[in-house]
Structure 1
Amino acid sequence: MSKKPNYKPGEFQWSFLLPKYWGIWIGITFLMFLAILPWSIQYRLATALGRFSFRHLKSRRKTTIRNLEVCFPEWNQEQVLQNAEQVFIDQMLGVFETLNAWYCPKWFDGRVEMEGLEHIENAQAQGKGALLLGTHSTLLDAGGYVCAQYFDPDVVYRPQNNPLLDMFIYRCRSTIYTHQIDHDDMRGLIRHLKNGRAIWYSPDQDFGLKQGVMAPFFGVPAATVTAHRRLLKMTKAEAIPLYFYRDGDIKNPKYKVLIEPPVENLPSDDELDDATRTNLIIERQLRIAPTQYMWFHRRFKTRPEGWDKIY
């Protein structure tokens, strides 16, 4: 669990100038240099770094391969390995795309397509908030940036343990998102939804059963959070699926944002049915671009009693 900061988000502290932070400052400067490189160099670097990470981050590689084996049983072992390596490459591409969104946003000009924006506009025209159900995409904040070209999004975030890194990321994200809402700030989240805001929310990770239920994910029982049901019930907001992904030739990519109609009868009276339907939405999204998802997280670490462990 991340430690609660004792400062305001994005606030500079004079202690950040102490020697213990110099390594991070050097890293931040290096990231800014990477952001100004041409895309032709960025994607080559990302490919090399992704392959290097796939070979050497053994635990993450093992988890990724196992997740793909479980979720895509129709793939043979060669396909699993190829796609697992591509997950790491896409993750590194996502780092460069995020840096471009923070420092060189004009790079995205003419590269973005939006479908279904009217679903958010209709909800807000009725005075309702929009809880945008999405995934932990490897596009990271680049996805938020392309969305921000069409509507005004907020985001739920988890503070970084390192205060300098937290300030850096928070300030960079402030150029994209109007509001960044701490994942523990339930009151703030409710307030913004009641005020008609559109908030990107990803209910796609395993936080155990204290915050969820076991529901099928790609046909496999997975601990599925249900907090969004309570948010929707308290705020009368619309649950609107949103997915963004990279499309086309990696040397000249396009970015697509798909917004689907509001999910009917969510929340219902059946918690398990709601969790199942939410997982089906995420499954449908992930099948569009399977390797642009953070499969290196242990999505199935919680197992039903009597079931074999997956990892």
Structure 2
Amino acid sequence: MSQKPDYQPGQFQWSFLLPQYWGIWIGIVFLMILAILPWAIQYRLATVLGNVAFKYLKSRRKIAVRNLEVCFPEWSAEQVQDKVRQVFIDQMIGIFETLNAWYCPEWFKNRFNVEGLEHLQKVQAEGQGALLLSTHSTLLDAGGYLCEQFFKMGVVYRPQNNPLLDMLVYRCRANIFEHQIDHDDMRGLIRLLKNGQAIWYSPDQDFGLKQGVMAPFFGVPAATVTAHRRLMKISKAAAVPLYFYRDGDIKDPRYHVLLEPALDNFPSEDEVADATRVNQIIERQLRIAPTQYMWFHRRFKTRPEGFEKIY
């Protein structure tokens, strides 16, 4: 679990110059160098690194394999292995895409488009905030950068355990997101929603039943968070599905931002029905580009009584 930092986000501390942090500074310089490499080299490096990760990160590979076996039973064992390998590669490509968004955003020029922007504009024109229901995409902050080319939004984040890393990530994201909200700062999040802001929120991970309910995900019972229902009831915000993905030739990729109509009668009085509805939206989104999702987390960690463990 991430620990809440005892300093202001993005704040520099002289202690960051101590020898214990030198390795991180060297790593940051290395990442900046990677960010200025031509895309042809970046995606080749990402492919090599993805294949290495697929081979040696065995525990993560097993989790991803089980997730895809459960969610896509129509795929053969060979197809699952191929898809999981591509998940690792897409994750590495996503790291380079995020570095480009942080340090070389001009690379994305003329490579992206948006569909459904009118749905968000309608919500905000009516004075409502928008909770953008999205996923943990391998595009990472590159997806946020793409969205910011069309509309302003904030993001909910978990502080890094290392204070220097937390400062660096916060500052890089400050060039992308209008607001960064600590996941513990519910008052700040509600205030922004009440003020008509759009906030990126991903309710697609298993945090147990203390924070959610069991609802089908790809037809399998999964612990699904419900915190967004309370946020929306208090803030009177609307829920607007958001998805972004990459397609086309990897040598010359194109990026798409997809916004769907705000959900009507949401939240309802039935939290299981609401969780099921959100899961169905996420399922539909993930089928567009299945390997551009972080299948490494144990989505089915919590199991109903009487059901066998998946992992």
TM-score interval for Structure 1 and Structure 2 normalised by the shorter chain: over 0.9
Moved over 3 A (4+): none
Q: Partners of 1:213 and 1:142 in 2: how far apart? A: 31
Corresponding residue number in structure 2 for 1:24:
24
> 1:306 Cα shift?
1.4
Task: Name structure 2 gaps, 5 residues minimum.
Answer: none
Q: Map residues 60-209 of structure 1 onto 2, 5 A cutoff.
A: 60-209=60-209
Q: Map residues 291-310 of structure 1 onto 2, 5 A cutoff.
A: 291-310=291-310
* TM-score normalised by L of structure 1: 1.00
Q: Which amino acid aligns with 2:151?
A: F
> Any idea what the Cα deviations from partners look like across 1:13-61, whole Å, max 9, x if unmatched?
1110111111100100000000000000000000000000000000000
Aligned residues: 311
Q: Partners of 1:143 and 1:206 in 2: how far apart? A: 22
Q: Partners of 2:27 and 2:265 in 1: how far apart? A: 47
> 1:153 Cα shift?
1.0
Q: Map residues 249-264 of structure 1 onto 2, 5 A cutoff.
A: 249-264=249-264
Q: Which amino acid aligns with 2:281?
A: I
Q: Which amino acid aligns with 2:81?
A: L
Q: Which amino acid aligns with 1:197?
A: Q
Two-structure CA RMSD over aligned residues (Å): 0.4
Q: Which amino acid aligns with 2:292?
A: Q
Q: Which amino acid aligns with 2:184?
A: D
Q: Which amino acid aligns with 2:126?
A: Q
Q: Partners of 1:290 and 1:248 in 2: how far apart? A: 15
Give yes or no for the alignment of 1:235 onto 2:235.
yes
Q: Map residues 5-24 of structure 1 onto 2, 5 A cutoff.
A: 5-24=5-24
Q: Partners of 1:97 and 1:105 in 2: how far apart? A: 9
Q: Partners of 2:298 and 2:214 in 1: how far apart? A: 15
> Any idea what the Cα deviations from partners look like across 1:221-259, whole Å, max 9, x if unmatched?
000000011111111111000000001111100000000
Q: Partners of 1:283 and 1:41 in 2: how far apart? A: 33
Q: Partners of 2:2 and 2:37 in 1: how far apart? A: 33
Q: Partners of 1:153 and 1:45 in 2: how far apart? A: 31
Q: Partners of 1:205 and 1:265 in 2: how far apart? A: 24
Q: Map residues 28-47 of structure 1 onto 2, 5 A cutoff.
A: 28-47=28-47
Q: Partners of 1:162 and 1:219 in 2: how far apart? A: 38
> 1:6 Cα shift?
0.2
Task: Name structure 1 gaps, 5 residues minimum.
Answer: none
Corresponding residue number in structure 1 for 2:287:
287
1:310 aligned counterpart, secondary structure: coil
Corresponding residue number in structure 1 for 2:59:
59
